[in-house]
Structure 1
Amino acid sequence: MAGIYLHIPFCKQACHYCDFHFSTSMAYKAEMLEAMLRELGLQKNYLSGEEVETIYFGGGTPSLLTADDISRLINTIADLHPVSANAEITLEANPDDLDKLKLVSLTQTPVNRFSIGIQSFYDEDLLWMNRAHRAQEAEASVKRSQDAGYENITVDLIYGYPLLTDTKWQNNIQKVLELDVPHVSAYSMTVEPQTALASFISKNKQPPMNEEQSAAQFTYLMNKMQQGGFEQYEISNFCMPGHYSRHNSNYWRGVKYLGIGPSAHSFNGEARQWNVANNAKYMQQLGVGAIAAETEVLTQTDRLNEYIMTSLRTMWGLQLNTLNKLAEGASDELIKNAESFFDKNWITEDHGVIYLTSSGKLYADHIAAELFF
């Protein structure tokens, strides 16, 4: 099985915290789609004929595409690859794009899952983030999608920023639970270099993020979602049983995937590849039948460290026998290096599998980095 990711590099406006690759001009949308179709053709052998189980439209804002654009890309994938009959096909969407007419048109495409970027149900927070939608649209977009027959929906929330009081955060989570969606992704606000938010903070126009606030709100999130019947199957992702994102789960499990579009990443089991994060260069190269990308062949150490980093984040945990398959005796060294984390009750071991505890999830990146080979 394998996955295909399509990076749609267009947005209506730039969110203050975002460092993903995108353009706020749609002037070259048609040319970009042609370039992506050409890349699909050039990369048709990248997955070695494996069945495509998931297709994911990310960005950027993929919901800016028309239904015809989306169908054309999916149909091209189906012409080039064997696609599973029950493939998960996800479209990231902004709430303001999912009006009734758009939803009617999307029902005519193979898309069967939405990832809706709500972030907050408070207008002042959305304005602070420079989001294009408002709180009323956020709630309405979910309900309209459900009315249109889409049950497989995930919503995104952000926590840990100055405007978000604990009461507002609790209300945001409660609102999501009331909307009866089966999947929630929640991320701590991070300050990325060269974003508007980073500039505001450096000029003292905005206060810095507060780690204690973020940790407290994350802890509340974990507890509340568990009470609501959700599984925390990955640090930032919660779902009702059986509703985890198959596409994202494959990333964490080391499954092959092909990334199409500027800045998109690919992995074939042995090497990683990433496309140039520049729309003009991307289109120019594909115009002459070439792909503007760099490749890194993974060493044994790279594979060990990637497995540690990704597996620890999931509810399936780090399997010691898998570690030993990557490098003989690796599990013994890892157990030795992890003694302090066992003592702090940040990790636990059960039948040869290492898991993060609830308290350990607060330090997931630190723990993984300390266990790297």
Structure 2
Amino acid sequence: MAGIYLHIPFCKQACHYCDFHFSTSARYKDEMILALQQELFLQKAYLQNETVKTIYFGGGTPSVLSADEVSGLIDSVVCMHNVAPDAEITLEANPDDLDQQKVKALRQTPINRFSIGIQSFFDEDLAWMNRAHRAHEAEASVKRVQDAGFENITADLIYGYPLLSDAKWKHNLQKMFDLQIPHLSAYSMTVEPQTALAAFISKKKQPPMNEQQSANQFILMLDAMEANGFEQYEISNFCKPGHYSRHNSNYWRGVNYLGVGPSAHSFNGATRQWNIANNSKYIAEITVGNLPAEQELLTETNRLNEYIMTALRTQWGISLTKLDEFAMGAAAILLANAQKHISEGRIIKDNSCLKLSRQGKLYADNIAASLFFDEQ
């Protein structure tokens, strides 16, 4: 079982908070699509003939592609790999791209899941983020996708930024429930270096983010999601039963995946590699048959720590049995190191698994880092 990620590095405009790799010019879109297809060929052996059960178009904004361009890329994946008949095939989309004609065209492609970047149902918040869409477009896009027969839908929302009162956050969550969206990815606003938001804050044009506000709104979300029948299967991800993101779950469970496109990452259990984050250089290298990527050979400690970091974020937690498969005796060492968190109520020992408590979820990254093994 494996996954394939295709990075589509184009956006209509730059969101103030975003530090993903993208360009606001689609000038080289045709050349980029050809390069993605060529990279699929160059990296054909990376997954060692594993069956591909998920394909994910991320970015950037993949919904800037036409339905024919999406189908062509999927055809290239199918030509190079053994793709399962029931593969989950996700397209990230912005609401303003999902007009009736576009949705109708995408219905004729193998796409069977949409990830819609809503972020907020308030126009003033969307303008503050410099999003390309408005609130009415967000709601309309969800209804169009549903009316076209797509049931597997997820929405992105953001919390923890100055304009978002608790009342507005509750409204955003309720709007998602009212629209009957079965999956939510919700992220606390973070200030990444080299973004417009970071520059605004450094120049005191915007206030810094408030950690207490973010924590409070995270707890409000946990209560609302539970009350509406959603499972929190990962720190930032919630779903109705049976609507897990299979692709993202692969990342958290250590399943192999191939990332194609500029800035895309790949993992096959033994190595991790990442492509250059530059569109023109990526296209130039791929065109002459070179793979513009760096690669890291993962040590036993690397693999252990990666498993700890990802597994602890999920509802399944860290399996002590699996730890000993990485390195004999690792489970005992980890359990000893976790005792402080267990006694403070941030980690729960559930049979042979360690899981974060509700309070522990507020400190997930710090707790994971405290459990990491040192390189020998």
Amino acid aligned to 2:125: D
Is 1:333 aligned to residue 333 of structure 2? yes
Describe the SS at the equivalent of 2:213. Answer: helix
The equivalent of 1:217 in structure 2 is 217
Question: What SS class does the counterpart of residue 164 from structure 2 fall into?
Answer: coil
Where does residue 352 of structure 2 map in the other structure?
352
Q: Secondary structure at the match of 1:258?
A: strand
Letter aligned with residue 362 of structure 2? L
Following TM superposition, the consecutive aligned residue runs of length 4 or more in structure 1 with deviations greater than 6 angstroms are none
Q: Identical aligned pairs, as a percentage?
A: 68
Give the corresponding residue for 2:324: 324
Show structure 2 runs of 5+ residues with no match. none
Please give the TM-score of this superposition, normalised by the length of structure 1. 1.00
Question: What residue is the counterpart of 2:147 in the other structure?
Answer: 147
Residues 192-237 of structure 1 deviation map (CA, whole Å, 9 limit, x = unaligned): 0000000000000000000000000001101110110000000000
Distance (Å, rounded) in 2 between the aligned partners of 1:351 and 1:35: 49
For the residue of structure 1 that corresponds to 2:310, the secondary structure is helix
Distance in 1 (CA, whole Å) between partners of 2:12 and 2:166 is: 30
Shift of 1:340: 1.3
Q: Secondary structure at the match of 1:146?
A: helix
What is the letter of the counterpart of residue 364 of structure 2? Answer: A
Q: Where do 1:232-311 residues align within 5 Å?
A: 232-311=232-311
Mapped partners of 2:341, 2:227: distance in 1: 27
The aligned residue for residue 73 of structure 1 is 73
Per the normalisation by structure 2, the TM-score is 0.99
Unpaired runs of at least 5, structure 1: none
Q: Give the secondary structure class of the aligned counterpart of 1:53.
A: strand
Deviation at residue 161 of structure 1 after TM alignment: 0.2
- How far is 1:79 from its partner? 0.8
**Alpha-carbon distance, 1:126 to partner:** 0.1
Secondary structure of 1:55 counterpart: strand
Secondary structure (helix, strand or coil) at the match of 2:6 reads strand
Distance 1:47 1:216 in 2: 42
Equivalence for 1:52: 52
**1:190 aligns to 2:187 (yes or no):** no
Shift of 1:110: 0.1
| CA distances 1:124-182 after superposition (whole Å, capped 9, x unpaired) | 00000000000000011001100011110000000000000000000000000110011
1:241-299 CA-to-partner distances (Å, cap 9, x unmatched) read 11000000000001010000000000011000100000011001011110100000111
The equivalent of 2:33 in structure 1 is 33
1:180 alignment counterpart: 180
What SS is found at the alignment partner of 2:207?
A: coil
Post-superposition offset of 1:355 = 0.5
* Counterpart AA for 1:322: K
The residue aligned with 1:111 is 111
Q: 2: distance between equivalents of 1:69 and 1:129?
A: 29
**In the aligned structure 2, how far is the partner of 1:16 from the partner of 1:239?**
28
For residue 332 of structure 1, report the CA deviation from its aligned partner. 1.1
Partner of 1:185, secondary structure, is strand
